[in-house]
Amino acid sequence: MAVEGGALEVPVVWDADCLLHRPAGEVWLGERIDGTEVPERATVILQKLTEAGARVVPPAVHDEAALLAVHDRELVEHLATVWADWEASGFPADFGRDRVVPYVFPTAAMLAGLPCRLPTATHAQVGRYCYDTMTLVGPGSWEAIRAAAGCARTAAELITADAAVAYALCRPPGHHAGPTGYGGSCYLNNAAVAAQALRHAGAERIAVVDIDAHHGNGTQAIFYGRPDVYYGSVHVDPGAGWFPHYMGFADERGNGAGIDANRNVPLAPGSGDDAWLDAVGLLCDDVRAFGVEAIVLSLGVDAAAADPESPLQVTADGYRAAGELIGSLGPVAAIQEGGYDLDSLGDYVLAALAGVAAGRAAASS
Ligand code: SP5
Ligand code: ZN
């Protein structure tokens, strides 16, 4: 897809460590199958954006404080150490278990009111943090997880320093990771790290707008009780049987001081550009009314018609139009979330970012 007006004027924050995470599939209904969250996702996006003339920049040095601002320390330490513990327990060498996967989940139903202990066995600890069987950890996962969060933070810093728009090519994605747990192919919440970095840099109010095909339950959970960070998401209706199943419903509007700073717009499976863009427009109206200094865009492109993980039917032109609407709101740090159709992924990301840049340019002229 050609970008009108020359090179894509959006810095792309990228760290090759993001390729080191190789989940090597997912356990789907009890069987290991090929996963779709593969390293090639990042490679095809990078190639497309580079061809479009975008400047690629490395992340600034990352520190733990940025992660601990939105996640419990135990979660961060678990992710940093679980592969080594798994290996030391002999699972890969002695049992052929080449990836970390949980098998016991300390749900409210299991605990029956008792406090959640930290179990002794590594393989039992995993279910305390990982809430599904599709989010495997292997050698190199932590390096990629940390690199992705660093890219998100740097994108936030770039727009703080007056870039109108910046994009972090994060992999693995982040919006399903919450304050204390991970799942949905996500480990740490890159968009939340970016939003928190913007707050830290002095912005009083921030919006996270999430256009991934799935509800960003992790981002919602992190900011649910907060009045300073709005979260709005359009996604396939979890009530129609789609991940994350347990949240993402329209009546989730925030809690305590965060009431009315959360909005979910679930769409019927099969919805296309018209319904989807109406929903994006509604989120933008919300953001305008809320009043923000910057926007974090959770840019999943899995609402694409050809995407294998969602039944939404959005076109690349739809993503471009959504980008324009969002770019008109203020400076945007766009964070890569899902998007799994390797043939169209790059075109969709490029279309969205070109739209954001055009919307920003029109609003600031
Ligand atoms: C970041 C993101 O987009 N995460 C999406 C996670 C949704 N995963 C749900 C997977 C459910 C079934 N996947 C297997 C498909 C077999 N055809
Ligand atoms: Zn998704």
pLDDT in tens, 69-109: 999 999 999 999 999 999 999 999 999 999 999 999 999 99
Q: If residue 217 lies in a helix (H) or strand (E), which one and from where to where?
A: helix 217-223
What amino acid occupies position 213? A
Q: For the residues of 312-332, what is the DSSP string, one character each?
A: -BB-HHHHHHHHHHHHTTS-E
- Helix, strand and coil content of the chain, in percent to the nearest 5, comes to 40, 15, 45
Q: For the residues of 99-132, what is the DSSP string, one character each?
A: SB-------HHHHTTS-----SSHHHHHHHHB-S
Contact 121, 100 (CB under 8 A): no
pLDDT of residue 302: 98
- Ligand 1 atom with the shortest distance to the CA of 244: 7
Regarding the beta carbon of 243 and ligand 1, being less than 6 Å apart is answered yes
pLDDT of residue 2: 43
Over residues 195-215, the pLDDT tens digits come to 999 999 999 999 999 999 999
Pocket test for ligand 1, best of 21, 133, 214, 242 (most atoms within 8 A of CB): 214
Q: For the residues of 262-302, what is the DSSP string, one character each?
A: EEEEEE-TT-BHHHHHHHHHHHHHHHHHH--SEEEEEE--T
Q: What pTM, to 2 d.p., does this model score?
A: 0.97
Measured over all CA atoms, what is the biggest interatomic distance in the chain, rounded to whole angstroms?
64
pLDDT of residue 365: 82
Query: Which residues of the chain fall below pLDDT 50?
Result: 1-3
Between CA 59 and CA 339 the distance in angstroms is 22
Between CA 244 and CA 273 the distance in angstroms is 22
Active site residues: 176
Contact 285, 265 (CB under 8 A): no
Tell me the β-bridge partners of 266. Answer: 235
Question: Which residue has its alpha carbon closest to ligand 1 atom 2?
Answer: 338
Question: Which residue has its alpha carbon closest to ligand 1 atom 3?
Answer: 338
Regarding the beta carbon of 185 and ligand 1, being less than 6 Å apart is answered yes
Question: Which residue has its alpha carbon closest to ligand 1 atom 4?
Answer: 184
